[in-house]
Amino acid sequence: MTTFSPRHLLTASALAVTVGLGFAAAQDAQPEISPEASQQAQEAANKNEPLSAPQETGRVMPDTFADLVQQVAPAVVNITTTAVVAQPTGGEGGPAFPEGSPFSDLFRDFGFPGPGPQGPGGPRMPQRSNALGSGFVISADGFIVTNNHVIDGADEIEVEFYSGETLPATVVGTDPNTDVALLKVDAPDALPFVEFGDSDNARVGDWVLALGNPLGQGFSASSGIVSARNRELSGTYDDYLQTDAAINRGNSGGPLFNLEGEVIGVNTAILSPNGGSIGIGFSMASNVVSSVVDQLREYGETRRGWLGVKIQDVTPDMAEALGLAAESGAMVTDVPEGPAREAGMRAGDVITSFAGAPVEDTRSLVRRVAEAPAGEPVEVVVQRQEGPVTLSVTLGRRETAEGAESRSDQQGGPARQDMLGMSLTVLTPQMVQEMDLPSGTTGLLVQEVDPASDAAEKGLAPGDIITEAGQQPVASIADLTARIDEAREAGRKSVLVLVRRDGEPRFVALPVGQP
């Protein structure tokens, strides 16, 4: 499935990721929930049961979403945040109009400084800024889920329920990586709540319902379908459902329901050229959110698993060079000090299974490792030339491992021999020292690359260092020549080489052709 890259998304529009900010107050609009539905919602809360939709069988398209709205709306909330924003000192040449002038109000609306009590150019007093978003209750005792960007930097947070009651909220924990925040309110009575569904069961074309507080208008419902799954926007752990249900500023943090009344996504972002909905909205998948929420609820922070490897996707030519039956798995390019090295994993391994489930690509592996508990052993199956090997890896914790890797600067050197469209030279101890490489580094330095060669097409460039070929160390031109000959004798069309650039390793399959 084709996924949007962060670069594609963000260059499509400066307003691509639109959040629930910038509205001073919501309209006084509440859902028209019948007394019977309100009573049923409170009874469910008192029994500590989640709200759910009336069950209908044999129906493909609902006649109405009204029953579903009536059932789950009591658990949807509006969130208002307040923050003190420092105002810059006015500068010379800025707009200056008499206080009370309509032009003065206009410029203030657009963020320009107007005349203050000190006059143009004088110091300005800090101002209070309000913002709105949405959220939903997930437990009778008052835990509420929303987006991190809705409450980020807030001094005060208030939660407004469908009944109009307002309660202050405290932040239990946040996860900027998935844009999830968990809040808590102390309510005198049990609160109606909803539960998470399994987002993996959502199919493209399924009906969905989005509830929230768009554009500060108060409670609002919009419907649509799941337009796509497994969208990736800008984060390592992204797994978005794309929907055409109308999502606008202020919907951030609100729930995306399936027809069973289960939350299968948290409305987070839209793709838009003008800041308004054009039918391309993104909701973080509930399976990601629920895992984060469980950790925030228990620890007040996330505790993701850490394998301790650098990986890349397996391409078709790499699979052919390795003799793999399928173009799936995650190729290990480097194994620094950490859990994987301690378990015996090594560069060149292809991870094909993690915790008993097959690994399709690097993205799926990263998410599954993150969801695995730190400090506990997990079985990892890797494919090597001699066959599959099962390793038991005790995962570390990513939060404590991030930022620990060091990188070295690498540059070119003299002396050459032309092979595979590249001019290569053997690294000498002096070159290693001059390039600030780790002591004992061996390999072949790429000095030049023929622009018309396969090596150039594969992305190799001067300054790259080839350290392995055919999953064996390369310390001389003769080593590389031997690996190329072995690939040809085995009937392979390419040889797999390990290339290091700026300290970062990656595998590249280079066509070997005929001698």
Q: Is residue 365 included in any domain, yes or no?
A: yes
Residue 486 has, within 13 A of its CA and on its CB side, a CA count of: 14
Are 510 and 424 spatial neighbours (Cβ–Cβ below 8 Å)? no
Q: Tell me what the mean pLDDT of segment 20-24 comes to.
A: 36
Q: Is the pLDDT of residue 408 over 60?
A: no
Catalytic residue (choose from 252, 272, 290, 291): 252
Q: Cα-flanking dihedrals φ and ψ of residue 33, to 5°?
A: -90, 130
From the list 134, 139, 175, 179, the catalytic residue is: 179
259 and 321 in a single domain? The answer is no
Q: Is residue 278 part of a domain?
A: yes
Query: Residue 354 corresponds to which tokens in the numbers above?
Result: 């993690």
Residue 165, domain member (yes or no): no
Of 134, 139, 149, 199, catalytic? 149
Q: Answer with the residue of higher pLDDT: 53 or 503.
A: 503
| Encoded tokens for 334 | 């480097």
**CATH code at position 236:** 2.40.10.10
Helices (H) and strands (E) in the chain, counts: 13, 28
The residue from 339, 369, 397 where one domain ends is 397
| Segment of 20-24, 119-123, 461-465 carrying the highest mean pLDDT | 461-465
Contact 75, 42 (CB under 8 A): no
Q: Residue 418 has which token pair?
A: 């032309």
The three-state (H, E, C) secondary structure of 51-94, written as one string: CCCCCCCCCCCCCCCHHHHHHHHHHEEEEEEEEEECCCCCCCCC
223 flagged as catalytic:
no
CB 347 within 8 A of CB 498: yes
pLDDT value at residue 45: 80
Per residue in 47-57, pLDDT (tens digit) is 888 887 666 54
Task: Let me know whether 423 and 506 are in one domain.
Answer: yes
Q: Does 309 share its domain with 390? A: yes
Classify 168 as helix, strand or coil: strand
Amino acid at 510: L
Percent of the chain with pLDDT over 70: 79
Max Cα distance, the chain (Å): 86
State the pLDDT confidence band at 196, using cuts at 50, 70 and 90: very high
pLDDT at 101 over 60: no
Q: Last residue of some domain: 284, 316, 349?
A: 284
Say if 300 falls within a structural domain: no
Pick out the residues of the known binding site.
149, 179, 250-252
Q: Which long-range contacts (CB under 8 A, 24 or more apart) does 375-378 make?
A: 378/305, 378/354
Q: Which residue, 353, 360, 366, is CA-closest to 328?
A: 360
DSSP assigned state of 116 = -
Instruction: Read off the pLDDT of residues 108-153 as tens digits, 9 standing for 90 and up.
Output: 555 555 554 444 444 555 666 677 899 999 999 999 999 999 998 8
* Cβ-proximal residues to 1 (8 Å cutoff; 6+ apart), any chain: 228, 229, 230
Which CATH number fits the domain that encloses residue 372?
2.30.42.10
Q: What pLDDT was estimated at residue 378?
A: 93
Feature table: binding site for substrate: 149, 179, 250-252
CA distance 179 to 149: 7
Q: Does residue 268 share a domain with residue 220?
A: yes
Neighbours of 73 (CB within 10 A): 22
Cβ atoms of 250 and 214 closer than 8 Å: yes
Q: Mark whether 268 and 310 lie in a shared domain.
A: no
Distance of alpha carbon 492 from alpha carbon 487, whole angstroms? 5
Residue 277: domain span: 203-284
pLDDT score at 128 = 66
> Is residue 421 pLDDT above 90, yes or no?
no
Residue 434 and residue 378 share a domain: no
Indicate the length of the chain as a whole number. 515
Of 223, 251, 284, the position where a domain reaches its end is 284
Rounded Cα–Cα distance for residues 52 and 222 (Å): 18
pLDDT at position 370 over 80: yes
Position 501 pLDDT exceeds 70: yes
Instruction: Check if 8 is active-site.
Output: no
Residue 416 neighbours by CB distance under 10 Å: 16
CB 243 within 8 A of CB 256: yes
Tell me the torsion sign for CA atoms 455, 456, 462, 464: negative
Number of domains the chain is built from: 3
Q: How many Å is the Cα radius of gyration of the chain?
A: 28
Cα–Cα distance for residue pair 73/94, rounded to 1 Å: 47
Looking at the domain assignment, is residue 76 inside a domain?
Answer: no
Q: Cα 311 from chain centroid? A: 17
The mean pLDDT of the chain is 79
